[in-house]
């Protein structure tokens, strides 16, 4: 398959995370190629979010290796991961409710006129202009970008969070349940944004409970169960039933029919 | 996958995008109303105007401006979602330290007989450095040990008060140099307050520091994952609060020409109250120095209003307490109205 010739963006080797006696993540071998959109599915506590926390530097793995863009990495914090071009849309949105859209987009990487350390003067005009541009690129319409996040709807908030990730991600976007709290219409908008990212060739890891959405959006589905990867199936060669069997443990992707990679 | 990739914003969402009236506006209306009540009562009971009396207004502002300087720092702490109970005690401790280095040589029982008649910069710098250091300790405790700000600053409050008493074994320190005394002379405390308030209004509005202060109070987790070094930032905010408490201590000592271990008792609560009355939310993320200044003026109007009406000073405290509770209730109510926590 030609997809396998593409450059490997992210690879983990026996990635493991224990919280005391809880084995949240066990020997995960994961591969993501350039331009690929993959989903991570699994029941609650299957280790999906734990996996994301390890590869984004929010937590440090107990053991195992992470290779990103051709070299081994161990991110000490999310900033390092971000500096490598990984952007994450967290489940809890990670927006500051009392700030406006440009401030949120540039939170932690504010543009300034000149460097006075923490007392550097913000270049609001540039940040606002770029924020408007970023929203346009991602296809998000926010009537007033100077409005505070607090006054926005759930869909608008999610769109802002995704725009932020899409604007700054050069190599990989990770989304943890981006539509979990959204209505039908808002979900459709977020899905459209994700399709736009696919067109732009930005790799994506999507964590979702929504199998319809997963099969609709991604190329490959990685199934997790009790902290382990139990299968990776191509979207074209599978259906909802097979994925559900993998999630629930009725079937194992390694021994069964699923096209395990 | 080949569908048109054009999202069209969030149609169908209710129009929540309208900007809200700034909280300071309501505080300003409150200030005007309270002042008008005293104006009316003044004509009824005293037969004269309350507001149109320049001397009364200057004394009114002078009375609250020293606590106002503290409140500027406390406001920033509260915006981060924290609290600072140590500022009143830091006023006492830094007043003692500064005064002990500001004494004249002609005074027979100077605290440091070898260190008298020093240039004014030395006591001022010593006081400020001690305040900044104490604030830094507060910030470090809160940021790294994760103990609640209430407890960390409560510890500093008791420790700093103990230090003030130990420093001269309870003796007051007096006889400052003329240079030091001039810091608190005339309307200088008000001038210092205005400079401090203006400076931090600009800093909170236009700098990275300000934006991140609001971000941390708004959603600390978001600030963290956005790459803000929350620990360093909190240390900076608490250090600034400590430094401003020290500045207030210096001004207080210079104005009173004396420093005593009991100086600044309860100032921390007045400062917190000014911030809260001024619309700073105790849950963090919201507030401004302009609001706190208005809160300070409300305090001033109430104090001088009661004096003007020749009412018992005990009523003042009771009314002050009631106003603080009302302000917090209004804050909680405002948040509930927003529908989100």
pLDDT value for A1: 45
Segment A208-235, tens digit of pLDDT: 888 888 998 999 999 998 889 988 888 8
pLDDT value for A259: 44
Q: How confident is the model at residue B8 (pLDDT cuts 50, 70, 90)?
A: very low
Q: How many domains does chain A have?
A: 1
A-facing residues of B in 275-314 (CB < 8 A) are: 285-286
Average of pLDDT values for B220-227?
Answer: 87
Q: Residue B4 pLDDT > 80, yes or no?
A: no
Q: How confident is the model at residue A129 (pLDDT cuts 50, 70, 90)?
A: very high
pLDDT value for B296: 96
pLDDT value for B99: 95
d(C-alpha B31, C-alpha A65), whole Å:
62
**What residues of B are in contact with residue A108 (Cβ under 8 Å)?**
223, 226-228
Please answer whether residues A174 and A89 qualify as being in contact, where contact means their C-beta atoms are separated by less than 8 angstroms.
Answer: yes
Taking the Cβ of residue A157 and every Cβ of chain B, the question of whether any pair is shorter than 8 Å is answered with: no
Percent of chain A with pLDDT over 70: 93
pLDDT value for B93: 97
Taking the Cβ of residue A158 and every Cβ of chain B, the question of whether any pair is shorter than 8 Å is answered with: no
Evaluate whether residue A259 is within a structural domain.
no
Q: Residue A70 pLDDT > 80, yes or no?
A: yes
Between A166 and B206, residue with greater pLDDT: B206
Domain hosting A142: range is 2-248
Between B318 and B190, residue with greater pLDDT: B190
Handedness of CA B268, B269, B271, B275 (dihedral sign): positive
Q: Residue A3 pLDDT > 60, yes or no?
A: no
Q: Residue B18 pLDDT > 60, yes or no?
A: no
Average of pLDDT values for B188-199?
Answer: 98
Average of pLDDT values for B241-263?
Answer: 96
Average of pLDDT values for B180-188?
Answer: 94
Evaluate whether residue A261 is within a structural domain.
no
Nearest to A173 by CA among A24, A61, A39, A22: A39
pLDDT value for B12: 39
pLDDT value for B338: 65
| For the ranges A134-143, A252-261, B51-60, B251-260, the one whose mean pLDDT is highest | B251-260
Average of pLDDT values for B240-261?
Answer: 96
Average of pLDDT values for B282-288?
Answer: 92
Minimum mean pLDDT range among A161-175, A244-258, B268-282: A244-258
What is the signed CA dihedral for A29, A71, A170, A192, rounded to 10 degrees?
-10
Segment B309-339, tens digit of pLDDT: 888 878 888 888 888 788 888 878 877 776 5
Q: What are phi and psi of B38, to 5 degrees?
A: -70, -35
Taking the Cβ of residue B212 and every Cβ of chain A, the question of whether any pair is shorter than 8 Å is answered with: yes
Taking the Cβ of residue A217 and every Cβ of chain B, the question of whether any pair is shorter than 8 Å is answered with: yes
d(C-alpha A226, C-alpha B299), whole Å:
60
Q: Residue A110 pLDDT > 70, yes or no?
A: yes
pLDDT value for A156: 86
d(C-alpha A97, C-alpha A142), whole Å:
15
Interface contacts A/B by beta carbons within 8 Å: 150
pLDDT value for A182: 82
- In A, minimum Cα distance to B287 occurs at A98
pLDDT value for A252: 64
ipTM summary value = 0.81
Q: Residue B22 pLDDT > 80, yes or no?
A: no
pLDDT value for B163: 96
What size, in residues, is chain B? 341
pLDDT value for B19: 55
Evaluate whether residue A257 is within a structural domain.
no
What is the signed CA dihedral for B199, B205, B211, B215, rounded to 10 degrees?
110
Taking the Cβ of residue B206 and every Cβ of chain A, the question of whether any pair is shorter than 8 Å is answered with: yes
Here the contacts of B48-57 (C-beta below 8 Å, separation 24 or greater) are: B50/B305, B50/B308, B56/B304, B56/B308
**What residues of A are in contact with residue B11 (Cβ under 8 Å)?**
185
CATH number at residue A205: 3.40.50.300
Evaluate whether residue A136 is within a structural domain.
yes
Q: Residue B3 pLDDT > 50, yes or no?
A: no
Per the prediction, chain B carries an average pLDDT of 89
pLDDT value for A89: 87
């Amino acid at each position: 398959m030609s997809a396998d010739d593409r450059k490997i963006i992210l690879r983990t080797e026996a990635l493991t995370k224990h919280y005391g006696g809880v084995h949240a993540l066990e020997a995960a071998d994961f591969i993501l190629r350039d331009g690929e959109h993959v989903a991570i599915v699994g029941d609650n506590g299957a280790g999906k979010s734990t996996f994301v926390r390890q590869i984004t530097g929010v937590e440090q793995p107990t053991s195992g290796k992470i290779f990103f863009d051709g070299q081994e990495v161990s991110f000490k914090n999310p900033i390092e991961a971000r500096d490598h071009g990984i952007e994450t849309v967290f489940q809890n949105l990670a927006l500051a409710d009392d700030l406006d859209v440009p401030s949120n987009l540039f939170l932690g990487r504010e543009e300034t006129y000149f460097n006075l350390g923490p007392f550097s003067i913000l270049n609001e005009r540039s940040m606002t202009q770029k924020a408007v541009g970023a929203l346009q690129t991602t296809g998000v319409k926010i009537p007033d970008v100077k409005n505070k996040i607090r006054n926005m709807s759930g869909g608008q908030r999610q769109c802002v969070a995704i725009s932020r990730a899409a604007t700054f991600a050069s190599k990989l976007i990770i989304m943890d349940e981006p539509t979990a709290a959204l209505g039908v219409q808002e979900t459709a908008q977020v899905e459209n944004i994700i399709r736009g990212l696919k067109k732009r060739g930005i790799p994506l890891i999507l964590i979702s409970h929504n199998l319809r959405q997963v099969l609709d959006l991604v190329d490959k589905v990685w199934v997790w169960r009790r902290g382990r990867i139990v299968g990776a199936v191509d979207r074209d060669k599978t259906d909802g039933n097979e994925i559900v069997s993998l999630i629930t443990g009725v079937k194992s992707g390694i021994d069964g029919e699923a096209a395990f990679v | 996958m080949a569908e048109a990739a054009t999202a069209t914003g969030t149609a169908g969402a209710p129009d929540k995008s309208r900007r809200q009236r700034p909280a300071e506006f309501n505080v300003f209306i409150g200030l005007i109303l309270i002042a008008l009540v005293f104006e009316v009562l003044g004509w009824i009971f005293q037969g004269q105007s309350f507001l149109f009396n320049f001397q009364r207004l200057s004394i009114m502002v002078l009375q609250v401006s020293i606590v106002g300087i503290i409140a500027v720092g406390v406001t920033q702490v509260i915006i981060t979602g924290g609290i600072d109970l140590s500022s009143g005690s830091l006023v006492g401790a830094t007043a003692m330290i500064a005064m002990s280095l500001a004494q004249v040589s002609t005074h027979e029982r100077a605290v440091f007989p070898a260190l008298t008649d020093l240039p004014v910069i030395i006591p001022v710098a010593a006081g400020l450095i001690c305040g900044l250091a104490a604030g830094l300790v507060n910030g470090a405790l809160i940021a790294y040990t994760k103990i609640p700000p209430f407890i960390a600053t409560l510890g500093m409050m008791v420790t700093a008060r103990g230090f003030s008493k130990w420093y001269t074994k309870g003796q007051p320190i007096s006889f400052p140099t003329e240079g030091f005394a001039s810091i608190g002379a005339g309307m200088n405390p008000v001038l210092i307050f205005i400079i401090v308030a203006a400076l931090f209004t600009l800093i909170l509005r236009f700098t990275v520091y300000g934006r991140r202060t609001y971000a941390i109070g708004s959603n600390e987790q978001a600030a963290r994952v956005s790459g803000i070094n929350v620990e360093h930032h909190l240390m900076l905010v608490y250090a600034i609060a400590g430094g401003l408490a020290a500045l207030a201590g210096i001004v207080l000592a210079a104005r009173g020409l004396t420093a005593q271990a009991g100086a600044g008792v309860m100032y921390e609560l007045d400062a917190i109250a000014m911030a809260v009355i001024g619309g700073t939310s105790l849950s963090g993320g919201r507030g401004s120095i302009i609001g706190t200044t208005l809160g300070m003026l409300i305090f001033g109007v109430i104090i001088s209003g009661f004096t003007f009406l020749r009412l018992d000073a005990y009523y003042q405290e009771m009314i002050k307490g009631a106003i603080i509770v009302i302000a917090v209730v209004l804050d909680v109510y405002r948040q509930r109205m927003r529908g989100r926590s």
